[in-house]
Amino acid sequence: MIERTLFSADHEAFRDSFRRFMDKEIAPHHDAWEEQGYVDRAVWDKAGENGFLCMTLPEAYGGSDADKLYSVVQMEELSRAGFTGIGYGLHSEIVAPYILHYGTEAQKQKYLPKLASGEMVGAIAMSEPAAGSDLQGVKTTAMLQADGTYLINGSKTFITNGWHADLVILVAKTDPAAGAKGTSLFLIERGMPGFEKGKRLKKLGLKAQDTSELFFDNVKVSADQLLGGTAMQGKGFICLMEQLPWERLQIAIGGIAAAQAAIDWTVQYVKDRKVFGQAVGNYQNTRYTLAELQTEVQVARVFVDKCSELLLQDKLDTATASMAKYWCTDLQCKVMDECVQLHGGYGYMWEYPITRAYADARVQRIYGGTNEIMKEVISRSMGLSGR
């Protein structure tokens, strides 16, 4: 295998530390969390106490001023272990960066330390019942009132961390007639009158992840809750587009880590499992299938590592990140399917990690923008358009 050169000794030491944290605080409980449909709130508190949340934030806001590779390590480890109920990545590397990059100083001081400590859990509310990948189709409105406040109405669905969330970055239209230029982002706190959380959604996979519906019924907020203040009104869509490369790369990182874990589990299984008097791994079909899968995952990992290098240099563009997202998640699903097949009937039993990984993988091709949208983004970067 190609030796990875992305990480330093410090990153690998952090990997060991986070694995110990997972072994102690997550592994003993994850099965129970899948049954109840959400992780215990305490796992957020403990992550905050150990400095595992919002690590890339400046120290002034409660972070460690770490580079993003520490977050990459964390994402890889959670995916490798199949701990898909843990929403640290979205909280630390999607929600917090929006506030860091676009928030006012008052908003940064108010929210970032609480996100870093685990006192607040963060979510971002984009998707709606009639608007998923098409963010320009958002129907939730935040209309400016005569007294300078905003009145918010609408609903969101498929919101990761939604049930636990204390702070939600809400995508809403402040000028519905202006299309993308009428989109703004708002900071909505738990307990605000008119803000309600719906049921936790029952899903094919990611069963420990508290995915929820959110409802906004005449939620009245001051201009202080507009991310970035009034100067950022109507600029929400630009913010979303600027953050998408990193968000999509995160999906690719998790996908490849999960695919490699599936191969590793399957290699061990086919060595141990006997059929017709010999190990399943002795059959040519098994060996060739796993050889092909490992080759493809190795190629994908080299590409994703290069994308991570570009990210650190602020050179990762939207099209390249879209390539990583679509290619790696398509591959992830292919690997899971082949590995389930090699497990035979046991690959359909929930107590086997490959079964859970198979169910967890499917949504990777949908969220963060469907893979069909990724191909649209890539083709447009090539100067091609269907219009």
Active-site residue list:
247
Nearest to 297 by CA among 116, 25, 24, 79: 79
The pair phi, psi for residue 213, each rounded to 5°, is -90, 150
E strands along 107-224, which residues? 122-125, 141-144, 150-159, 167-173, 183-189, 195-200, 212-221
- How far is Cα 354 from Cα 370, in angstroms, rounded to an integer? 24
- How far is Cα 257 from Cα 261, in angstroms, rounded to an integer? 6
- How far is Cα 186 from Cα 141, in angstroms, rounded to an integer? 11
What DSSP designation does 298 have?
A: H
- How far is Cα 34 from Cα 26, in angstroms, rounded to an integer? 12
- How far is Cα 248 from Cα 30, in angstroms, rounded to an integer? 25
Q: Residue 37 corresponds to which amino acid? A: G
> What is residue 143's three-state secondary structure?
strand
Q: Are 6 and 308 in contact (CB under 8 A)?
A: yes
- How far is Cα 207 from Cα 230, in angstroms, rounded to an integer? 39
Cβ neighbours, 10 Å, residue 355: 19
Rounded to 10°, the helix 371-381/318-343 angle is 140
